[in-house]
Amino acid sequence: MDKNLDDLAGDANARQSSAFELMQDIEDACCKALVEDCGFEWAQFFRLEWFRTREALQVLAQHVDTSPMTLEKGGELFAQQFAVPMLSGFIHLTVSSRGGGNVEAWLTNPLRAWLAFAVSQSGIAEQRLLDNLAIDLDADQRTIDRWLSGEPIGKLSWPYAPKVAAILGKKVGEPEVNLLTGWLLVACAFQSLLAEIRDAVRRDSKRRKQQPWALENAIAKMNQEGYWLGNSPVRSEVVPLLDEVQQSFSMRPRNDDALLSQLGLFQRLVEQAPPALRPSYQYIHDWFSARHAALLGDKGAALRLYACAVSGAWWCAGPNQHPILNEALLYAVGVGDKDAANAYWDKTFMLGLNRGPKRPLDEQEMRRIAFAFEQRFSPQKAKDRIPPPMEFKTTEDAFWLGRKDLANPNQKTKYAEGRTRRTPLMVAIQEGTLAEVKTLISAGGNPNDFIPESGDGPLSYAMRRACDRKDPLVMDFLLGLELSHETVNRQASTKRETPLKIAVEMANAQAVSRLIELGADVEAACDYLPSALCYAMVLLHGSLYREDPTQELAYFAGKSRADVYDAKEGAVLGVDLAARRKRLYNLANASGRNRQILAAVFDYFIRPPEDHRAVIDALLSGGADANRRYRVEAHHLAEWTPTLFAAQVGELAVFKMLVEHSGPNRGDPDLTLMPPSRLERFDALWVAIDHGRHSIVSYLMERDKRLATDSVNV
């Protein structure tokens, strides 16, 4: 773990594209170690606090421009405005939420506070605890006295549970040992800080009652300091010049000679700036020069300059990092430089512009981003083949089956100026009749064919036709053929839709069963969920509670993943989705008629609950795991299963279907969302009670009685 931390801190070249995964691995390893040492409750608490801190760090980095500051000045400001208040807040929160007693005692002398707390919890005399501590650590009295006086603690190090168990004369893992282990960790960590930092934290703690700390205030103060540090004669010349550069970029037609002249003048001004301030201007020059080179088609210069701009801005340029990273990512993806794109993609997660868990920047992700590249760098075309924003057709383009099609039913033909490709069989499936599809199959049309760049093929087109137009005839015919295992599991389009996902979406149990017969993987990812059954349960919930606005509001708030529709309007990062979708929300709610239109769309696509029940039954019969674990949000500690979610949904018939299924994949209502606490179990009964699902509660209580009776009879 130490090596991983060194790699992350050093931003080694080998880690340019995987720093975020490394950070996640470190987080997971730390959490696992915490669970083993002080139990789940402490580990949960520390993990949540780390997520809160990490998010605050990302917000700070996104909004504070420290580029005019020296490292020493920046570090001093960071400690004063952020690190010290966060530490103070952490101690206050820990004491209040974990029942630690007096905050001042923990801030003044942490180990002595721990000792007093241990006496109150265990009932063991203080001297006996100290004697046991000295014996276990082989420490003399003078050393322990120094620790108790507040000096940094040496020998008393991780792991703490065996030491606490020895001091108390109990076993590792007992509740009392876990409780005191967590507190000892806090005490040792705080007491090991530099004395001046601990003093600053104590002073901040006293100020909190009169002057509560807020992140936005810290950001404002740090930016104000940065502004004054960067105030120089050069700024008065650079600011109006930047306005001219921006205006030149927006002019149509663009005046490239004027831009070159302006950028040259900008570089000369940068070189005239004081050495300490040059970096705060150089990255801006590199950014605009990269954009100009990109628009001129100078790929090599653009990639080099974007790399310089990102490097110069990274973690110090505040709000400028967002547009620079976004632009550099779009360009690298558009021209096909996957190494550069992966490095920028990783940084978007490190900075919090994208929400974890990090997704691989695979071919379909790059195709999605390529739509935004073509919008940003028009009229250039992305290296990856993507459809145009719109494909226009006339009545003359209507499909009709000709001799050429029959002679070459699998010939990949270009459409929309070569932006898309389809075979005659695929076009017939999209636009023709069942008879025409059968004719092409008889003529040698391959139902297992597909377009490499998109993954689309005859089956995906047929499934989408059945779902969108409620016309399943062609789909039913194709499913009657002996399709390959690869075909029934192939992901199509930037949405990564498998045939099984579409069948579940349209609630067609017959299609689901047939796909499973053909080898469809019921445990493969489905939409943004880990399996088809998880997805089917979400769709059932939407069908039962159609007035629940949760999903719709989450989409408009930008909480769902970016899609191709976002990318076509330039939004590829999670942080940009809410603003882009706000326009859609405003349009949808602009009038009663607009709401009626949206409601009609939902009415058309949302299937009846009985159809979803049939799909769930088909998935269970096909071996779907009713206990498949998943998290609603990556940072959530609760791990759901289809069975636990069914307890929340409250549909008794489906819950019984999952729990009473005859196969080994049946649902287990005794599984818990998280390890039980001393007061709550977090199993299906707890979920049902928490959501007021009385029929599920009654069923589970009767089931428990029945099982208890059966065990007694045995």
Q: With helix as H, strand as E and coil as C, how does 309-378 read?
A: HHHHHCCCEHHHHHHHHHHHHHHHHHHCCHHHHHHHHHHHHHCCCCCCCCCCCCHHHHHHHHHHHHHHCC
Cα(645)–Cα(531) distance, integer angstroms: 14
Q: How confident is the model at residue 711 (pLDDT cuts 50, 70, 90)?
A: low
Superfamily of domain 625-714: Ankyrin repeat-containing domain (1.25.40.20)
Structure token digits, residue 338: 């996957």
Cα(190)–Cα(113) distance, integer angstroms: 12
The CA-based angle 507-511-514, given to 5 degrees, is 145
Q: What is the mean pLDDT of residues 671-679?
A: 84
- Each residue of 515-546: b (16+ CB within 10 Å) or e? bbebebbbeebbbebbbbbbbbbbbbbbbeee
Handedness of CA 603, 608, 611, 616 (dihedral sign): positive
Cα(641)–Cα(630) distance, integer angstroms: 6
Tokens 């300059």 sit at which residue? 305
Within 13 A of 199's CA, how many CA atoms are on the CB side? 4
Cα(653)–Cα(179) distance, integer angstroms: 42
425-450 pLDDT, tens digit each:
999 999 999 999 999 999 999 999 99
Largest CA distance in the chain: 99
Is the pLDDT at 21 greater than 80? The verdict is yes
Q: Based on the number of CB atoms within 10 Å of its own CB, is 189 exposed (0-12), middle (13-18) or buried (19 or more)?
A: middle
Most trustworthy range by pLDDT among 327-341, 379-393, 663-677: 327-341
Helix (H) or strand (E) holding 421: strand 420-422
Mutual angle of helices 175-191 and 40-63, in 10-degree steps: 30
Give the pLDDT of residue 1.
53
Helix (H) or strand (E) holding 261: helix 256-272
Q: How confident is the model at residue 680 (pLDDT cuts 50, 70, 90)?
A: confident
Handedness of CA 508, 511, 516, 522 (dihedral sign): negative
Using an 8 Å Cβ cutoff, are 624 and 531 in contact?
A: yes
Cα(159)–Cα(434) distance, integer angstroms: 69
Q: Mean pLDDT of all residues in the chain? A: 93
Cα(164)–Cα(118) distance, integer angstroms: 10
Q: What is the mean pLDDT of residues 502-531?
A: 97
Domain over 235-376 is classified CATH 1.25.40: yes
Regarding predicted confidence, which is higher, 523 or 713?
A: 523
Give the pLDDT of residue 637.
78
Give the pLDDT of residue 17.
80
What region, left, alpha or beta, does residue 315 occupy, with left being phi > 0 and alpha being psi -120 to 50 degrees? left
Within 13 A of 380's CA, how many CA atoms are on the CB side? 23
Q: How confident is the model at residue 64 (pLDDT cuts 50, 70, 90)?
A: very high
Is the pLDDT at 359 greater than 80? The verdict is yes
Q: Based on the number of CB atoms within 10 Å of its own CB, is 510 exposed (0-12), middle (13-18) or buried (19 or more)?
A: middle
Is the pLDDT at 269 greater than 90? The verdict is yes
Structure token digits, residue 387: 């459809």
Query: Which residue intervals of 520-641 are DSSP H helices?
Result: 532-544, 550-556, 564-568, 577-588, 592-605, 609-621
Smallest CA-to-CA distance from 531 within 433, 434, 629 is with: 629
Cα(62)–Cα(73) distance, integer angstroms: 19
The CATH 1.25.40.20 domain(s) of the chain lie at 625-714
| DSSP summary character for residue 255 | -
% of the chain at pLDDT higher than 70 = 97
Q: Which residues pair with 694 in a beta bridge?
A: none
Q: What is the mean pLDDT of residues 593-612?
A: 95
Is the pLDDT at 10 greater than 80? The verdict is no
Is the pLDDT at 636 greater than 90? The verdict is no
